[in-house]
């Protein structure tokens, strides 16, 4: 068995289980080992019954003083035992497990682990796991991995499969030069893979993660810089007139562009008229007005007789761009054809769109991934724009760019990355920054509260809906989890429907839904057919609802600040005052300190910089930044110092061997290409 072997070669993985693994992107032995835990749990210190609170997942020390009773309810046997003292007791219940009566010996002390819930005035624990004191002492030292799952796939099954895969030692060859490993104190790769799944202690977990994070950054930056060096600056084949066309359009706008917007547009126009093809990133905070800059750049291309295309991350946003571009063309009196191309269009609609690409040499084309399908053939493509770069990937934008004669490439991102990091991450692009917010935008009002504020928050949402507005409610989980105590959208939507007026429609959205279902829900929200949308972070990018004025975020402490800022950016897009309510369910002082940064500032770049200062090596549980750039473990904010180390080593390496043709670097080149391929697969290329 090797890393490319099918997952079905692992003992216990049959045809049905293999299909379930495919749903989470696991096809090979290598894939399961790279399916890292999303968090870990540790068994808590054992308590006595009188120390346990309602709703707590606890380990309870108890002595069996009476033989457990087995009752029969209908056709089901229920075993019941009681521990604790008179007046302070706990009932233990097991369903369909009559053998527990004989397993629990009177006079023996055990530790019972499970969730304690108050029923009829008494604490009850259903289906608790049972350990001897010696067994539990060993369990307390263990980190238990918690994996991303799909329906039908249990955490226990994934854990067993990973253990079986790790049984075949040294599946990976450590490609990283020994001097680099020694310089930064990085452990061996196979050891790191084992410890990231089943760490011996916190120190080994931190060490394993450091090694794997370094690898992700090193290979990513290496692939960016290597291909940049290999790709000579392409000659600009397009001729753009030096006229005042865009300036005349700007004067017709009903509002004034900010200085930063004008500067970014000027840099784009200059690039499109230079001797070489443009490769530029426009980095602008949420609400900074990148879309109008993109439109003006595309209008400039159309005015000069060329096609342009913008690729959005979701169908809903693509349709919104299409409609706003049509409206802008109407306002400006422009006769440029605007073409929409998305995956959900009918065969006839797609055929008409393909025909339009052939007929109109100056079409402004708006779409999703459908823009890079084989049937989409462009006649005169001079400008390619990708919206939200980290949702696509370099190879993907190159695929779109390859549709034309080396067209100009413009990338737009709302991720507030500090400039020092952006230069590394976007190493193959020139950077423009839009660091001003249009004056007409009202700043979002923020508040961080605890769970006691929920009733007031619901009343506030109801009041905003009565005014004709809408609201988002964000939860970290899709459904209830035994391992993580946090709000989930499945239960929360029921809670809200019961708590709000009957005339308010509450919708549900999460990433496990099919694409058509997600699009339908978002379309209903855009049209105000849904007033309150309960969602996971899937709404972080890809939709514009100016009518939404409230963003309520549950378990805000579980998200990175950059991600919270992106979520907050979903409101405040219209003329009405908007609000962001962050519910902190943690008692941690550090969590409160982090959230206070967001509470006091609406500046994404300042927030990112402050976040960098606060983050430490033990902060990587539950606060990932939503996978910017689609890294598996690495976080560009928290791991900024590792990113800079990896970048420095890449520069040194390519200076000595720019082609990676040296004897020791051939394996490195192979791993780099493999890393790119695996990353592109994750991006659904």
Per-residue pLDDT tens digits for 125-150? 999 999 999 999 888 878 889 898 88
* CA distance readout (Å), 372 to 404, 417, 629, 647: 11, 28, 20, 31
Per-residue pLDDT tens digits for 169-221? 667 888 888 899 999 999 999 999 999 999 988 899 999 999 999 999 999 89
Give the residues across from 89 on adjacent strands. 84
Please tell me the predicted confidence (pLDDT) of residue 64.
Answer: 95
Which is nearest to 433 in space by CA: 405, 453, 412, 456? Answer: 412
Please tell me the predicted confidence (pLDDT) of residue 392.
Answer: 46
Residue range(s) occupied by CATH 1.10.150 in the chain: 1-42+147-171
How far apart are the C-alpha atoms of 489 and 334, rounded to whole Å? Answer: 45
Going along 198-259, which residue ranges are E strands? none
Residues with Cβ within 8 Å of 178's Cβ and at least 6 positions away in sequence, in order, are none
Per-residue pLDDT tens digits for 305-324? 999 999 988 888 899 999 99
Please tell me the predicted confidence (pLDDT) of residue 391.
Answer: 45
Residue 551, H or E segment:
strand 548-553
* CA distance readout (Å), 462 to 130, 442, 521, 679: 46, 21, 20, 43
Local confidence band at 616 (pLDDT 50, 70, 90 cut-offs): very low
Is 0.85 topped by the overall pTM? Answer: no
For 488, the 3-state DSSP assignment is strand
Q: What is the mean pLDDT of residues 260-267?
A: 96
Residues with Cβ within 8 Å of 651's Cβ and at least 6 positions away in sequence, in order, are 225
Residue range(s) occupied by CATH 2.40.50.140 in the chain: 49-141
Q: Token pair of 11, please?
A: 């003992």
Per-residue pLDDT tens digits for 576-587? 999 999 999 988
For 582, the 3-state DSSP assignment is strand
How far apart are the C-alpha atoms of 607 and 477, rounded to whole Å? Answer: 25
How far apart are the C-alpha atoms of 618 and 612, rounded to whole Å? Answer: 13
Calculate the dihedral angle through the C-alpha atoms of 287, 291, 296, 301, rounding to the nearest 10 degrees.
Answer: 150
- For residue 623, pLDDT over 50 is answered with no
Long-range contacts of 93-102 (CB under 8 A, 24+ apart): 93/124, 93/125, 93/126, 93/127, 94/126, 94/127, 94/128, 95/126, 95/127, 98/70, 100/68, 100/130, 101/67, 101/68, 101/69, 101/70
How far apart are the C-alpha atoms of 585 and 455, rounded to whole Å? Answer: 15
**Residues found in the chain:** 685
The yes/no answer on whether domain 445-601 falls in CATH 3.40.50.300 is: yes
How far apart are the C-alpha atoms of 31 and 9, rounded to whole Å? Answer: 13
Please tell me the predicted confidence (pLDDT) of residue 390.
Answer: 44
Residue range(s) occupied by CATH 3.40.50.300 in the chain: 445-601
Q: What is the mean pLDDT of residues 34-48?
A: 89
With the C-alpha atoms ordered 154, 156, 160, 165, is the resulting torsion angle positive or negative? positive
Please tell me the predicted confidence (pLDDT) of residue 614.
Answer: 66
Count of Cβ atoms closer than 10 Å to residue 118 Cβ? 11
Q: In the CATH scheme, what is the code of domain 1-42+147-171?
A: 1.10.150
Phi, psi of 266 (to 5 degrees): -60, -40
How far is CA 551 from its chain centroid?
18
Q: Token pair of 681, please?
A: 């697969």
Q: Token pair of 632, please?
A: 């598996």
CA gyration radius for the chain? 28
How far apart are the C-alpha atoms of 406 and 564, rounded to whole Å? Answer: 37
Residues with Cβ within 8 Å of 504's Cβ and at least 6 positions away in sequence, in order, are 462, 465, 531, 532
More confident residue, 676 or 407: 407
Fold for 49-141, please state it.
Answer: OB fold (Dihydrolipoamide Acetyltransferase, E2P) (2.40.50)
* CA distance readout (Å), 269 to 241, 265, 266, 358: 10, 6, 5, 26
Local confidence band at 15 (pLDDT 50, 70, 90 cut-offs): very high
């Amino acid at each position: 068995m090797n890393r490319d072997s099918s997952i079905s070669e692992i003992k216990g993985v049959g045809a049905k289980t293999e299909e379930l693994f495919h749903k989470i992107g696991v096809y090979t032995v290598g894939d399961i080992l790279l399916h890292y835990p999303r968090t870990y749990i540790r068994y808590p210190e054992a308590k006595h019954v009188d120390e346990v609170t309602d709703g707590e997942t606890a380990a309870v020390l108890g002595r069996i003083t009476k033989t457990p009773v087995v009752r029969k309810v209908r056709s089901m046997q229920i075993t019941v035992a009681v521990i604790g003292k008179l007046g302070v007791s706990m009932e233990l219940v097991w369903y369909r497990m009559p053998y527990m009566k004989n397993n629990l010996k009177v006079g023996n002390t055990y530790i019972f682990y499970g969730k304690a819930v108050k029923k009829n005035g008494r604490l009850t624990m259903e289906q608790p796991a049972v350990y001897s004191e010696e067994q539990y002492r060993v369990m307390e030292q263990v980190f238990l991995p918690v994996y991303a799952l799909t329906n039908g796939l249990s955490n226990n099954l994934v854990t067993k499969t990973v253990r079986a895969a790790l049984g075949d030692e040294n599946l990976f060859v450590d490609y990283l030069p020994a001097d680099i490993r020694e310089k930064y104190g990085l452990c061996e790769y196979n050891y790191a893979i084992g410890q990231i799944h089943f760490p011996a202690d916190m120190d080994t977990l931190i060490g394993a993660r450091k090694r794997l994070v370094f690898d992700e950054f090193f290979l990513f930056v290496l692939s960016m810089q290597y291909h940049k060096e290999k790709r000579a600056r392409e000659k600009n084949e397009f001729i753009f007139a030096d006229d005042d066309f865009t300036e005349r359009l700007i004067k017709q706008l009903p509002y004034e562009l900010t200085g930063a917007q004008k500067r970014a547009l000027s840099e784009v126009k200059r690039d499109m008229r230079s001797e070489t093809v443009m490769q530029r990133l426009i980095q602008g905070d949420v609400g900074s007005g990148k879309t109008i800059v993109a439109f003006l750049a595309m209008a400039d291309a159309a005015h000069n007789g060329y096609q342009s295309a913008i690729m959005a991350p979701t169908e809903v946003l693509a349709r919104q761009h299409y409609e706003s571009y049509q409206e802008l063309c109407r306002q400006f009196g422009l006769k440029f054809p605007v073409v929409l191309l998305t995956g959900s269009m009918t065969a006839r609609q797609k055929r008409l769109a393909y025909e339009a690409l052939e007929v109109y040499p100056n079409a402004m084309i708006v779409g999703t991934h459908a823009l890079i399908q084989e049937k989409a053939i462009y006649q005169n493509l001079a400008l390619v724009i990708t919206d939200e770069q980290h949702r696509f990937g370099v190879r993907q934008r190159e695929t779109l760019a390859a549709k034309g004669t080396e067209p100009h490439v413009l990338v737009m991102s709302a991720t507030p990355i500090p400039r020092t990091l952006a230069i590394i991450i976007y190493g193959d692009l020139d950077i423009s920054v839009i660091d001003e917010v249009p004056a007409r935008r009202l700043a979002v009002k923020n508040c961080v509260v605890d769970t006691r504020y929920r009733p007031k928050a619901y009343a506030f949402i109801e009041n905003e809906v009565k005014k004709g507005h809408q609201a988002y409610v964000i939860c970290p989980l899709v459904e209830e989890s035994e391992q993580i105590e946090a709000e989930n959208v499945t239960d929360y939507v029921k809670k809200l429907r019961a708590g709000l007026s009957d005339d308010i429609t509450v919708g549900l959205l999460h990433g496990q839904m099919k694409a058509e279902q997600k699009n339908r829900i978002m379309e209903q929200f855009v049209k105000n057919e849904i007033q309150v949308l309960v969602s996971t972070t899937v709404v972080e990018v890809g939709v514009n609802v100016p009518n939404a004025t409230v963003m309520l975020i549950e378990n805000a402490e579980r998200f990175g600040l950059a991600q919270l800022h992106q979520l907050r950016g979903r409101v405040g897009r219209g003329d009405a005052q908007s609000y962001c309510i962050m519910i902190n369910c943690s008692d941690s002082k550090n969590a409160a300190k982090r959230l206070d940064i967001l509470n006091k500032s609406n500046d994404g770049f300042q927030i990112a910089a402050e976040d960098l200062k606060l983050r430490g090596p033990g902060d990587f549980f539950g606060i990932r930044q939503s996978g910017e750039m689609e890294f598996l473990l690495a976080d560009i904010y928290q791991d900024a110092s590792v990113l800079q180390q990896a970048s420095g080593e890449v520069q040194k390496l390519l200076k000595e061997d720019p082609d990676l043709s040296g004897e020791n670097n051939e394996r490195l080149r192979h791993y780099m290409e493999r890393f790119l391929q695996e990353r592109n697969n994750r991006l659904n290329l």
